[in-house]
Amino acid sequence: MLKINLLPPSVKAARTKRLIMLAVTAGVAVFLTIPAGVWYLKFSRVASLKAEIKALDKEAEAGGYREIMVKVDALKVQEAALAKKLDVLDKLLVRQASWIKILEALSLSQSQSKDLWLQTFSSRPLTTAPDAGKTELTLTGVAFSIASVEDFVRSFQKADFLPELKQTPVVHSATDEGQALIQFTAVFKFKV
């Protein structure tokens, strides 16, 4: 069978042009619907998750989970308080160990000095600017000679915590049961 096209060429070109336009329009429509579809799927997923969260919250409040959540919050507060207390205990243990070293150094220095006895000691924290954070240790005692006091001070200053003599020991003469004694007061400062 034989086909004869009797349409003028301008109509044929217009038809071809329309077909190309229709194909381009369909391609653009398909190209634009893909991102719109992806966006719609994500939006619907987010909406369904939000609805699920609301349902779980309502279930938690209605199901008695509210009490459990209050208990969990109370336990968190207790945990924070216990952490603070443990921190304080750790600091106190460190200070306790340092005071043991100080007392050992005092005992060693006293035993190395001949004829010297410590009577009292007191400490206080220093808060003024140059010595802030240091401790002042005041020692009083008696000895038979000034040389014993000097030996004690020198020996104590060689301790690990490096006490520095704040002032020259104050020395007074005294007698006890007819025996001539020297009373002294020495003040040291050091970092605990």
The tokens of 46 are what? 């987010």
CA-to-CA distance for 173 and 184, rounded, in angstroms? 9
For the ranges 48-52, 101-105, 117-121, 168-172, which has the lowest average pLDDT?
A: 168-172
130-151: average pLDDT: 89
The domains of the chain are located at 93-191
DSSP string, 164-189: EEEEEEEEEEEEETTEEEEEEEEEEE
Quick one: pLDDT at residue 46? Answer: 93
Q: Full-prediction pTM beyond 0.85? A: no
What is the rounded average pLDDT for all residues in the chain? Answer: 86
- Of the chain, the percentage scoring pLDDT greater than 70 comes to 97
pLDDT for residue 14 is more than 80: yes
Task: Look at domain 93-191 and name its CATH class.
Answer: alpha beta
